[in-house]
Structure 1
Amino acid sequence: MQTKPENDTDLRLKINSETARLPWTELLKHFASGSVVWVANSLDLVDVAVRISHDDKANISQWMTAGLLGKVTDQQAEAWLAADATLWAAVVHPFILVQEEKPKVH
């Protein structure tokens, strides 16, 4: 059963307002320290940030098992660097969650 406490609204607004597009190069030092977490495009970045901030182990574990959430790999980091990628980023201390920009639908 997934219920969201009322105070999640404030938390969602706070996280959403602090979400930004950042060049991967600005995140490299955080990647080097192991604090950058990749979020699959099929997930909502703000929702994942809220779940992590609530230490929602059930959803987090499910996402990780499904390959939808995890520490950024060296291969991802190299590809983003080569592509001069810009990613969506949200901070949930001590992590920085990143998500590739979703393709625009024409």
Structure 2
Amino acid sequence: MTSPERPAETGQSPLYLKLLAETAQIAWPELERFFARGMLLCVARDMDLVTVATAIAEDNTDQVASWLSSGLVERMQAETAADFAARDPKLWAVVVSPWVCVQERD
């Protein structure tokens, strides 16, 4: 998995690099209001968060639909939100309006 601090490859698209620069660690309480509005997308740990955000921003519907159908990307579920609230895990997020993509990291 690519770290938000260091892309694995050089020559990334300008959009990828822009979103990478906007990706940050965030605490769950700061995300709760987005969850309440249904605007949080949870990205699987083994996915590159910025690649997912880039696909959403580029309206790559086939790729995003594939991730959604396989469960690699999903709207934040209430159970996951409750778990995050209880554990306060290390989370990274990036905004791709109207969505906020969030991923738990170790």
| TM-score class normalised by the smaller sequence | 0.7 to 0.9
Matches within 5 A, 1:26-105: 26-101=30-105, 103=106
**Larger Cα-atom Rg:** 1
AA aligned opposite 1:39:
V
CA distance in 1, matches of 2:16, 2:55: 10
TM-score, L = length of structure 2:
0.86
Structure 1 residue runs without a partner (length 5+):
1-7
Q: Identity over the aligned pairs, expressed in percent?
A: 38
Match of 2:5 in 1: none
Structure 1 residue runs of 4+, over 2 Å off? none
CA distance in 2, matches of 1:45, 1:24: 17
In structure 1, the residue corresponding to 2:42 is in which secondary structure?
strand
Match of 2:4 in 1: none
Match of 2:28 in 1: 24
Taking only aligned residues, the RMSD between alpha carbons, in angstroms, comes to 1.0
- In the TM superposition, what is the alpha-carbon distance from 1:86 to its structure 2 partner? 2.9
Q: 2:14 aligns with which of 7, 10, 14?
A: 10
Structure 2 residue runs without a partner (length 5+):
1-11
- In the TM superposition, what is the alpha-carbon distance from 1:9 to its structure 2 partner? 1.5
